[in-house]
Amino acid sequence: MTEKRDTHRTDVLVIGAGQAGLSAGYHLQRQAIDYRIVEADQRIGDVWRRRYDSLTLYSPAAYDQLPGMRFPLPKRQFPTGRQMGDYLGAYADHFGLQVDTGVRVERLDVPTAEGQPFVVTAGDRRYEAGRVIVAAGAFQTPKIPEFASELDPSIHQIHAGDYRNPGQLADGPVLVVGLSHSGADLAHEISASHMVTVSGRAHGQLPFSVDSRRGRFGWPILAWVFWHVLTLDTPIGRKMAPEVRKDGGPLLRWRKPDLLARGIELTDARTTGVRDGKPMLADGRVLDVANVVWCTGFGRDYSWIHPAIEVDENGWPIQHRGVTSTPGLYFSGVVFQYAFTSMLVHGAGRDAEYVVDHIAERMGVQKRAVGGVRAPVAERS
């Protein structure tokens, strides 16, 4: 017997209700385009609430707001992850965005013939849409090297995506594998109660911490550079984009001097294997540790999209500013989608607006005479 599913039809379906998906919903609503957002979690913002307890954003509140609604904190204060999650929920409520929560997408079928809709299946629900924006988040599947299974079972292992606080760790030394944002943050926190070694090379660092006085007052300059200079329209931005997508960004809060001051041992040698049940570095050194924290990033999983989409060597979808070569299929929330700010909440609104404007143009949407709000007209061929 074929499983019966309720079918919901809309012009644009947005998959994911994080900052990228909600920004898309805001711009679609402003242009009077029929849309629906689906979110796997039961509550908007839980993706932020699930992250480690001490998380604070790298940008102050003045640069963490989505289009149309300020962040309700002093402009130089750095929000916590939970405050960010609460803001996203309040944002959706404030604008009455059309979000279906608790809907985990299992499959997206891309039309293979003109006139057919995109079809999304999610449990007992089925959605049909003329266009789809995938805003499912950049960090999906934790990456842990295969040799991790060879470590002695007595060594406690945890990925940064599952880490909440040092209370999860066993007594004894800790190896943090990876020195990007999460690696620096977690190493700094864990060093208060454990001996810590960090394995891996940093991918640059700011000349000052974003948390310092210089950082807080210098954010307008940083934001201008991130917004206007480090973009796909500039040579330096085009050079930086693939590096950031592959290895992550520079250290922003806890830089090497800050980590060394905490007594943390830093080694550029990568963790490459196991010897006698213990982690081994590329220089042959074997570490006697009680814990390994894998800050090795996340992989992308688009296997639920059929037919399979084109991805680059790092698993990111092939697109330009969110627009793909597949008519009607868009992405938002991709790392360095247009600029360095695409990794920050600050850039979500601009990236989403570009995608929605592209959709509106293809739909033949025109501006109304009053208020600059657009209304759909006849679909273009």
- The per-residue pLDDT for 255 is 92
Q: What does each C-alpha distance from 274 to 78, 153, 154, 159, 283 come to in angstroms?
A: 39, 12, 14, 17, 12
* Mean of the per-residue pLDDT values of the chain: 90
| Class of 142-205+250-294 in CATH | alpha beta
At 104 the three-state DSSP class reads coil
Q: What does each C-alpha distance from 360 to 23, 97, 307, 368, 375 come to in angstroms?
A: 15, 18, 25, 13, 9
Residue 323: pLDDT over 70 = yes
Structural domain boundaries in the chain: 6-140+300-376, 142-205+250-294
Residue 10: pLDDT over 50 = yes
State which H helix or E strand residue 220 sits in.
Answer: helix 213-224
Stretch 310-322: mean pLDDT: 90
Q: Each residue of 250-283: pLDDT tens digit?
A: 888 899 999 999 999 999 999 999 999 999 999 9
pTM score, whole prediction: 0.89
Residue 376: pLDDT over 50 = no
Dihedral angle computed from the Cα positions of residues 242, 79, 202 and 243, in that order, rounded to the nearest 10 degrees? 0
Whether 6-140+300-376 and 142-205+250-294 share one fold: the answer is: yes
Rounded CA gap, 128 and 131, in Å? 9
Dihedral angle computed from the Cα positions of residues 267, 298, 307 and 115, in that order, rounded to the nearest 10 degrees? -130
Look at 137 and 146; give whichever has higher pLDDT: 146
Residue 205: pLDDT over 90 = no
pLDDT band per the 50, 70, 90 thresholds, residue 180? confident
Stretch 3-17: mean pLDDT: 88
Share of the chain above pLDDT 90, in %: 74
Stretch 177-204: mean pLDDT: 93
- The per-residue pLDDT for 137 is 78
Stretch 300-315: mean pLDDT: 90
Q: Each residue of 221-238: pLDDT tens digit?
A: 888 998 999 999 999 999
Residue 134: pLDDT over 50 = yes
Q: Residue 1, Cβ neighbours under 10 Å: how many?
A: 3
Residue 139: pLDDT over 70 = no
**What are the structure tokens assigned to 182, written together?**
């999460």
* Residues 6 or more apart whose Cβ sits within 8 Å of residue 286: 275, 276, 278, 279, 280
Residue 380: pLDDT over 90 = no
Stretch 29-46: mean pLDDT: 96
**The one-letter amino acid at 85:** G
Q: Produce one character per residue of 150-185: b if its CB has 16 or more CB atoms within 10 Å, e if not.
A: ebeeebbbbbbbebeebeebeeeebbbbbbbbbbbb
| Class of 6-140+300-376 in CATH | alpha beta
Residue 152, Cα to own-chain centre: how many angstroms?
A: 32
Residue 1: pLDDT over 60 = no
Stretch 124-141: mean pLDDT: 89
Q: Are 351 and 338 in contact (CB under 8 A)?
A: yes
Lowest mean pLDDT among 62-71, 172-181, 201-210: 201-210
State which H helix or E strand residue 83 sits in.
Answer: helix 81-95
pLDDT band per the 50, 70, 90 thresholds, residue 307? very high
Residue 309: pLDDT over 90 = yes
Look at 374 and 342; give whichever has higher pLDDT: 342
